[in-house]
Amino acid sequence: MTDDAIPAATLVVLRDRPGGAPDVLMVRRTQRMAFAAGAMVFPGGRVDEADFALASDRESAAKIAAIRETIEETGLPVALSAPHDLQARLHRGEAFGSLLAEHGLSLDLGALVPFARWRPAFHQPRRFDTLFFLARAPDGDWPLVPQAGECESAEWLTAADVLRRIGAGQATAIFPTIRNLERLAQFGSFDEAVAHARAHPVETISPWVEEVNGEKWLRIPDHLGYPVTAERLTDAIRA
């Protein structure tokens, strides 16, 4: 199989809450997006050439892209050496690297913890090879500003709350997002999520279809920390 998947990165930002499961930063994509239209997703997007130019390797470039996309889509200044509002200038097309240099900012790439890698192998107009990272929310009460034209909303919700919305038909999400939300719903804090991530390998996940008793299921590997590793294909398509 030719590797025509687009390099992409996603940031799973967690915010601890006293006495409860952590909040997760979620955005809802607009209906006119070419990929996952109207779906709830974690902030993220493709890794651009400019991200590679700022990085020393593929993982670092993905981390830079994940930070940049999170700022663009929500305004949240994750993993910056000092909190700064860069969203509006990124929307005007200014280069991320130039903005960092202008304000004397650096990126704390070590604050991003590898969580997963998904590369669906199905025939679709666009296929993405996406690295997922965990990050702690920055201190302070930062307002979330969804990116006009790309995100309908940006909000803090527990993973369980998002899953309840999806189950009630109040929201939609693609297969990888649902599986990652189920994994995140196991944790009571950011530190628990990090410990779990470090205890499991990050291997490329390419879901496959398996027929059981005449019924088709969409499956992922069983050893990567996911509590649910199979879903009926018809349900996965509807999600």
- Cβ atoms 187, 21 nearer than 8 A: yes
Mean pLDDT within 163-169:
95
Residue type for position 222: D
**pLDDT at residue 3, rounded to an integer:** 62
CA diameter of the chain: 61
**pLDDT at residue 34, rounded to an integer:** 56
The pLDDT tens digits for 7-35 are 999 999 999 999 899 999 999 988 775 56
pLDDT band at 166 (very low <50, low <70, confident <90, very high): very high
pLDDT band at 225 (very low <50, low <70, confident <90, very high): very high
Look at the alpha carbons of 223, 169, 143, 70 in this order and tell me if their dihedral is positive or negative. Answer: positive
**pLDDT at residue 121, rounded to an integer:** 76
Mean pLDDT within 198-212:
96
Strand 113-118, strand 204-205: pairing:
parallel
Q: Would you say residue 36 has pLDDT above 80?
A: no
pTM, rounded to two decimals = 0.94
Contacts of 6 (CB under 8 A, 6+ apart): 46, 126, 127, 128, 129
Distance CA 68, CA 62 (A): 10
**pLDDT at residue 124, rounded to an integer:** 61
Mean pLDDT within 122-141:
87
Fold of 6-206: Nucleoside Triphosphate Pyrophosphohydrolase (3.90.79)
- Cβ atoms 148, 27 nearer than 8 A: no
Q: Would you say residue 1 has pLDDT above 50?
A: no
